[in-house]
Amino acid sequence: MQQVEIADTKRRLLDAAGEIFTEKGFKAATVREICRVAKANVAAVHYHFGDKEGLYKALLVEAFESGLRRYPPHMGLGPEATSQERLYAFIQSFLLRMLGSGRFAWCGKLMARELHEPTEAMDHVVQHYILPLAAQLRSIVAEVLGDGAQPNDTRTLFCAMSVVGQCQYIFRSRSVIGKLIPSMRFDDAGIEALTEHIANFSLSALKNMSKLDEMQTTTTAAPPAKDRER
């Protein structure tokens, strides 16, 4: 019975911390407020997490791992999936983790806040979660680009950042987007529509990168019209 109570207290602390850290940020949030919401003794934070920093780090791990369990980047695709299908799944997973609702809706918001206002826990997050996800996206992007593109090529890196940038913009600008496009929805159907748009937009750009490079090369190599007349 005691073990169940201990686990329950830890769970309540994490849930309360998720809401408060997301709303106020790491600096403004207090252990006392978190414990009040969790209906736990202040000493419980020290017992389970060591201190406020330990609680926050545990919460970030919870946010990433719970999000990835519910919405893995492959979204259930098999090994035979094409690069286009894998890019679609990656974008869908990203948006669902950032925009999803329900009990753990704070997970996406907390991740976004940490990326925007990084704390000392960022190194752990980058090492264990962001780097593997980034490597996976670069691999997909390189495959879509074709023409011998490699995951660590500069062009591949920039293209991967552009894909992620579209997803992050949707999350950070939801309030503005809602005013610009009142019909925009962020429920499952709305996220599906956004996924389709970002995937199609990105695929169109990636598949035409080689043509754009050729056009730029031709434009750069061609002398100005006046020089040609001479």
129 within some domain: yes
State whether 158 and 133 are in the same domain.
Answer: yes
- For 152, how many CA atoms within 13 A lie in the half-sphere containing its CB? 1
Task: Report residue 204 as tokens.
Answer: 């169109």
The angle, 0 to 180 degrees and rounded to 10, between the axes of the packed helices 154-172 and 83-99 is 30
> What is the sign of the dihedral through the CA atoms of 40, 43, 46 and 47?
negative
- 230 in a structural domain: no
Q: Give yes or no: residues 14 and 88 share one domain.
A: no
116 in the same domain as 14: no
Instruction: State the pLDDT at residue 227.
Output: 55
Tokens of 168: 């992050």
CATH of the domain at 172: 1.10.357.10
CA distance 70 to 62: 12
Residue ranges making up the domain that contains 5: 1-50
Last residue of a domain, one of 12, 32, 50: 50
- Total of domains in the chain: 2
pLDDT tens, the chain, 230 aa long: 356 566 789 999 999 998 899 888 888 999 999 999 999 999 999 999 999 999 999 988 888 888 899 899 999 999 999 999 999 999 999 999 888 776 667 777 787 778 777 888 888 888 999 999 999 999 999 999 998 999 999 999 999 999 999 998 998 888 899 899 999 988 889 999 999 999 999 999 999 987 776 566 555 555 555 555 55
**Residue 78: inside a domain, yes or no?**
yes
93 plus 169 within the same structural domain? yes
Whether residues 130 and 174 share a domain: the answer is yes
100 with 190, same domain: the answer is yes
Residues 46 and 85 occupy one common structural domain = no
CA 202 – CA 156 distance, rounded (Å): 12
| 94/87 Cα distance (integer angstroms) | 11
Residues 169 and 198 reside in one and the same domain: yes
DSSP state of 149: -
Tokens in use for 59?
A: 């919460």
Whether 120 is in a domain gets the answer: yes
| Residue 172 falls inside a structural domain | yes
Domain boundary among 32, 50, 68: 50
What is the rounded CA–CA span in Å between residue 163 and residue 31? 37
Q: What is the pTM of this model?
A: 0.82
DSSP letter for each residue of 199-218? HHHHHHHHHTHHHHHHHHHH
Evaluate whether residue 223 is within a structural domain. no
Token pair for residue 62? Answer: 């919870």
| 59: Cβ contacts below 8 Å, ≥ 6 apart | 14, 17, 18, 21, 110
**Tokens (6 digits) for 141:** 């992007």
- Predicted confidence at residue 1, as pLDDT, reads 39
The domain that holds 6 is classified in CATH as: 1.10.10.60
